[in-house]
Structure 1
Amino acid sequence: MHVRVLQPAQRVDGELNGSAASNGAGGAGRPRFVAVTSLEDVQAVRCAEFHPQGKLYAVGSNSKTLRICSYPKLGDLREDHQTYQPTVLFKRTKHHKGSIYCLAWTPMGDLMATGSNDKTVKLMRFNVDTSNLEGQEVELTMHDGTVRDLCFLEDTTNKSSLLISGGAGDCKIYVTDCATGTPFQALSGHSGHVLTLYNWGGAMFVSGSQDKTVRFWDLRTRGCVNMVTPATAPGNRGSPVAAVCVDPSGRLLVSGHEDSSCVLYDIRGGRNVQCFKPHSADVRSIRFSPSAYYLLTGGYDNKLVLTDLQGDLTMPLPSVVVAQHQDKVISGRWHPTEFSFLSTSADKTATLWALPPV
């Protein structure tokens, strides 16, 4: 069995001073992430996403408030750092009529979308120079339930952006042409709420659902090209899929489940590689680090865990708790280029974590 083939793409050296996760939770090499900034809200913070250029990030909350914050300079970060409130560049209260569940930027960073339990998606132009949303926003009303996740795809044939959105209600995944603001496809297949969407470039994306399946979609063929039910325990029929991601090479899928397990799946080989449990409650968020050598997971056990994927992926994977909240962790997101991440939580905060320079 050629597990090496599965290795995620390129390596960034010095990322964690060698394999920091390999010493287990208490080892000397344990990465000590510090909370650099923490944005406080009056309700649970569901989503935060870095702008693709990395100089700012957006935060959406159950309080219906959308904020855009600046990413601080981290050059003089110390272990005894005092956490402070980030600089808010833009704030809009009552952005939706309900909680903001999800948000996304286009790869170019000129468009942003938000989804809510008011069943709408809002599509807005973003001016990087002024850090402001501008022009008339488009409100999309095709969903008949909470919009749980969003992602953008670039349609390379005519250089336009497409917005993929999914959620509760009819369990359909909608494809919207951003240039016209028109939904032009409704993808059927899931029999339960769509909880998570992920795109890693190109026309392919994956979706995870309450129905315990992960589906692979290809917009060129206008449909589902593969379906997997990740086995989270021997002989079981799976568990609702709350989070998915795919490594940049498109070889390795990782799914996070409500039964606290994560499953590594070899996409090309069409097989489970292994199931592991980095959390003691629902896994709600999964992302590969920029180099794809580490996996960041967030769970309802209030923790964010870093798992090292540099060895044999069929063997037990070293993992370490790198951050903790006072309540459930809802999302964790890596900075596009730096070794720092954002987490959002039911404890009403969005926190930026980073490693002090050695």
Structure 2
Amino acid sequence: MPINYAKHGPQSKRNTTVSEASTNGKKPQFIPFTRLEDAQAIRAAEFHPSGHLYAIGSNSKTLRVCSYPRIQELKAMREDHKPYQPAVLFKRFKHHKGSIYCLAWNITGDLLATGSNDKTIKLMRFNADVCDVEGGEAELTMHDGTVRDMCFMEDLTNRSSLLISGGAGDCKIYVTDCETATPFQALSGHSGHILSLYTWGGAVFVSGSQDRTMRFWDLRTRGCVNLITAPPSSAHGPGSPVGAVCVDPSGRLLVSGHEDSTCMLYDIRGGRIIQTFRPHSAEIRTIRFSAKAYYLLTGGYDNKIVLTDLQGDLTQPLSSVVVAEHADKVIQGRWHPTDFTFLTTSADKTATLWALPN
């Protein structure tokens, strides 16, 4: 059944933190709570499923796992708060031979994977209680170009984790059995670099590529089950390369961010574009729904972080508000699993945790 666009998202229990502020004429502004600094651009960030930790990967080849602040600290934050360096609980220099482009935790948080422009993936068992790697690490070498994105999926039949990875080079998406650290599928179809991968549960995931397409894949059929072409940038001509993709928790709504600074909302079950809009003035490289899909978080090469309100009729113009800003390009943004806070990485060599002051 297609989405009832006019009633997207629960209306009776709506989270009005941002939307109320914007409609009342007050611009909501997230404040940097912690700020990690590095010698080079920081690309990758991901919260641990518990929400107590987050991992950071940098162009300096350094992998860090940091402690998330206590909720009492966040609740006490004022507008004049000065960001401080987060507690780094785990640190590994020269984790890769090249820059760390992406990283991911599995759903239980005991596996951590990192991908690099050295064309390798490192897969590690991670003990969150002591914040350390257990045993050795597996190095995966099946890619012949930069590994740009990864996501974990659960193989319910065999009760094991699968790692989905993609990037440059042969433009194939590889599926790896994490128990044996062995790649066992190579999915072909894209003709350009794969820049983004996302799964929301089950056996299906979506990929976004420089070839201007998004593909849905089903591991049960071992192939592409749906192909979506980016909408034209103008009245004529091709669409724009896809820098980021995400699907809401219900699996009904796809959102994509593009090189031409547009976002597209797509009804997966109805098979049609709902609308395109432009929350940034430069390329979009990160996009994520908040926990209940009330808001969309986007970051762009215009240095800005934008929240778009998705409560209400999705066919109508959407309210987008700049809520935070870096000194250089925003590369990645991630919501906390439960709190109304988010983490961003930037070419300004920082990873920043943002929260709303009380």
Query: TM-score under structure 2 normalisation?
Result: 0.95
CA–CA distance in structure 2, aligned partners of residues 136 and 8 of structure 1: 46
Q: RMSD value over aligned CA atoms?
A: 1.7
Q: State the partner residue of 2:339.
A: 338
Unaligned runs of 5+ in 1: none
Q: 1:144 to 1:18 in 2, by over 3 A?
A: closer
1:71 lines up with 2:68 in the alignment: yes
2-structure distance, mates of 1:315, 1:80: 36
Alignment of 1:297-316 (within 5 A): 297-316=298-317
AA at the equivalent of 1:312: D
CA shift, 1:332, in A, is 0.6
**CA distance change for structure 1 residues 207 and 136 in 2, over 3 Å: closer, same or farther?**
same
Alignment partners' CA distance in 2, 1:165 and 1:254: 20
Tell me, in whole angstroms, the C-alpha distance in 2 between the residues paired with 1:163 and 1:138. Answer: 12
Give the aligned partner of residue 158 of structure 2: 158
Structure 1 residue aligned with 2:228: 228
TM-score between both structures, scaled by the size of structure 1:
0.95
Distance 1:91 1:286 in 2: 27
Query: Residue 34 of structure 2 corresponds to which residue in structure 1?
Result: 37
Cα drift, residue 8 of structure 1:
5.2
Q: Which residue of 2 aligns with 1:351?
A: 352
Tell me what 2:138 maps to.
Answer: 138
1:137 partner SS: strand
Q: Secondary structure at 1:245's aligned position in 2? A: strand
Q: Would the alpha carbon gap of residues 201 and 8 (structure 1) be closer, same or farther in structure 2, given more than 3 Å must change?
A: farther
**Contact 1:165 1:174 survives alignment (8 Å):** yes
Amino acid of the structure 2 residue aligned with 1:32: Q
Give, in angstroms, the shift of residue 76 of structure 1: 1.2
**1:65-121 deviation digits (Å, cap 9, x = unpaired):** 000000002121111111111000010000000000000000100000000000000
Do the aligned partners of 1:206 and 1:214 also contact (CA within 8 Å) in 2?
yes
- Answer yes or no: is the 8 Å Cα contact 1:125–1:133 preserved in 2: yes
Structure 1 counterpart of 2:297? 296
Give the distance between the partners of 1:292 and 1:199, measured in 2 at CA. 15
Pairwise mapping of residues 268-283 of structure 1 onto structure 2 (< 5 A)?
268-283=269-284
The structure-2 alpha-carbon separation of the partners of 1:177 and 1:3, relative to structure 1 and needing over 3 Å to count, comes to closer
Query: Paired residue for 1:27?
Result: 25
Q: Which residue of 2 aligns with 1:56?
A: 53
55 and 188 in structure 1: CA distance in 2 versus 1, 3 angstrom threshold: same
Deviation at 1:303, TM superposition (A): 0.4
Q: Show CA shifts across 1:181-214 (max 9, x none).
A: 0000000000000000000111000000010000
Q: Equivalent pairs: percent with the same residue?
A: 72
Distance 1:42 1:49 in 2: 20
Deviation at 1:235, TM superposition (A): 3.7
SS in 2 for 1:20: helix
Quote the Cα distance in structure 1 between the aligned partners of 2:170 and 2:8: 35
Relative to structure 1, the CA distance from residue 176 to residue 235 in structure 2 (aligned partners, 3 Å threshold; closer, same or farther) is same
Q: Contact 1:283–1:297 at 8 Å: present in 2 too?
A: yes
Query: When the two structures are aligned, how many residues end up with a matched partner?
Result: 354
Contact 2:255 2:264 in 1 (8 A): yes
Answer whether contact 2:175 2:183 (CA < 8 A) is retained. Answer: yes
Unpaired runs of at least 5, structure 2 = none
Alignment partner of 1:182 is 2:179: no
